[in-house]
């Protein structure tokens, strides 16, 4: 199964999944025995999900700031806990057997916003084991 999200926000609408519903989605997947894998691994048929569990791919389109935002604390970066990345991190911390795997499809000149932190964000996603995909400049 592949799930595609766009925005993660306060209020649910056509292109936005509310934070509470996104957290509920993760909890439901966890309870139903789904475990995230990378889209790259799925495409290459490198599925190593433990027996008794089912793989799921989580994707996020458009590189929206509500997917990944940095807050500064004393000039140091801190991942906004209300964004997709922040919620995924917290869920993974609380459920270590739910891998921190997701694919972010980016487009435009300023993915995720915050030009100052763009390189940090891209490096963070890669170092955390997540994937970055090309969504093309204009879809």
Q: CA Rg, the chain, in Å?
A: 15
Cα distances from 2 to residues 29, 69, 70, in angstroms, run 12, 24, 27
Q: If residue 124 lies in a helix (H) or strand (E), which one and from where to where?
A: helix 118-127
pLDDT tens string 78-101: 999 999 999 999 999 999 999 999
- Cα angle for residues 122, 9, 101 (degrees, 5° grid): 40
Can you give the pTM of this predicted structure? 0.94
pLDDT tens string 69-79: 999 988 899 99
- The residues, any chain, with a CB within 8 Å of residue 7's CB and separated by 6 or more, are 15, 16, 17, 62, 64, 66, 67
DSSP-derived secondary structure letter, 13: B
Q: What is the pLDDT along the chain (139 residues), one digit of tens a residue?
A: 999 999 999 999 999 999 999 999 999 999 999 999 999 999 999 999 999 999 999 999 999 999 999 999 888 999 999 999 999 999 999 999 999 999 999 987 788 988 999 999 999 999 998 999 988 776 6
């Amino acid at each position: 199964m592949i799930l595609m999200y766009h925005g993660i926000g306060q209020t649910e609408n056509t292109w936005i999944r509310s934070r509470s519903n996104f957290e509920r989605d993760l909890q439901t997947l966890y309870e139903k025995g789904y475990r995230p894998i990378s889209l790259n691994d799925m495409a290459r048929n490198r599925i190593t999900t433990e027996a008794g569990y089912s793989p799921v791919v989580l994707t996020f389109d458009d590189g929206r700031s509500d997917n990944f935002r940095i807050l500064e604390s004393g000039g140091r970066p801190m991942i906004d806990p209300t964004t997709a990345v922040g919620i995924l991190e917290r869920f993974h911390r609380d459920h270590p057997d739910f891998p921190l795997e997701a694919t972010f499809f980016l487009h435009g000149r300023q993915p995720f916003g915050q030009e100052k932190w763009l390189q940090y964000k891209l490096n963070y996603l890669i170092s955390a084991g997540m994937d970055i995909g090309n969504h093309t400049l204009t879809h």
